[in-house]
Amino acid sequence: MSTDLELWSRVAKGDSEASVVFLEAWRRRGEVRISHESALPWLLGVANNVLRNRHRSLRRGPVMEGPEGGIGG
pLDDT digits (tens, 9 = 90+) for 33-64: 777 888 888 888 888 888 888 888 878 777 66
Supply the pTM of this predicted model.
0.56
Kindly tell me the burial class for residue 46, based on how many C-beta atoms sit within 10 Å of its own C-beta (0-12, 13-18, 19 or more). buried
Cβ partners under 8 Å of residue 25, min gap 6: 32, 43, 46
What's the start-to-end Cα distance of the chain, in Å?
Answer: 40
pLDDT greater at residue 8 or residue 25: 25
Lowest mean pLDDT among 9-13, 23-27, 52-56: 9-13
